[in-house]
Amino acid sequence: MSNKTNKEIFNRATGLLVIEVINSNPNGDPDKESDPRQRNDQRGEISPVSFKRKLRDLIEDKDGEVWKSIAQKLKINDGFDILEKRDRDRTKIIELLKNNQEKFKQKFWDGRVFGNTFLEEGSSTSIKTGVVQFGLGVSIAPINIERLTTTNKSGVEEGKDRGMAPLSYRIAQHGLYCMPFFVNPAVAYKTGCTMQDIELLTKVIPYAYTNTASYIRSQVEILHAWYIEHNSPLGSCSDFDLISALTPIKLKEPEKPSTSRAEYKIPTEKDVPDELKKKVKSIRDLMKEI
């Protein structure tokens, strides 16, 4: 981690991920037998928790190619452990926090960036405050869910040498999702977050789906990862206006599911109104920085 203190000042930022899903399940709903998450209006959802999990997994895997490549580019090593990893020892974490809160902050990247109740001394609330907040990913149009059954030889009942065990296969046929995120430097003094932490975030986002693909999530891709830096830590423009300017529009029959990307108008930086561009420092598409 950088030797800079948590008094480092950086600007507010507004982000938007444009995610395409083809015959995949981007985020299963455990309350609905792992169907792709869906709202009452049939639009698909991707939870912020599931997306942050992918970022954490990529950074936690210090032997993985994603981490090694990014760490080399940013010249970083220590201070980027993951607090909310799957097998964390809560007792040891609490002990570290109790004995050396500053060391605790310096150790865990996701604690500094996404926040955690561990960082609020004496806190008894479940509210987590982080510098970076991801919003709910929602599809532009409703999605069609397809339910299939595949088979697996290894799951045959004991004592039998024939037959195939059924595997549930639940996918969204096609969807274009938008997930907003926000960088709020106002709380950085609490978590110890630095600009280096944010830069690591911007470098790992493009790999979130392509490098964590699975059998059921084989075709999920971030088309654009917009990162718009404001002119000040407090913000210099409406987050909603920026997000609206970069949100895709379904050209025909917006209330019917899509079957391909061609059915949408997908904005680029050129589509952001000049009056908005004048109010921000920069507009980056992180997918072009890989």
pLDDT of res. 161: 52
89-143 pLDDT tens trace: 777 777 877 777 788 888 999 999 998 755 555 444 433 679 999 999 999 999 9
3-state per-residue secondary structure call for the chain = CCCCCCCCCCCCEEEEEEEEEEEECCCEEHHHCCEECECCCCEEEECHHHHHHHHHHHHHCCCCHHHHHHHHHHCCCCCCECCCCCCCCHHHHHHHHHHCHHHHHHHEHHHHHHCCHHHCCCCCCCCCCCCEEECCEEEEEECCEEEEEEEEHHHCCCCCCCCCEEEEEEEEEEEEEEEEEEECHHHHHHHCCCHHHHHHHHHHHHHCCCCCCCCCCCCEEEEEEEEEEECCCCCCCCHHHHHHHHCCEECCCCCCCCCCHHHEECCCHHHCCHHHHCCEEEEEEHHHHC
Residue 111's closest CA among 84, 139, 78?
84
CB 257 within 8 A of CB 287: no
Report the range of poorest mean pLDDT among 148-152, 205-209, 284-288.
148-152
Domain locations along the chain: 13-144+176-288
What percent of the chain stands above pLDDT 90?
71
210-230 pLDDT tens trace: 999 999 999 999 999 999 999
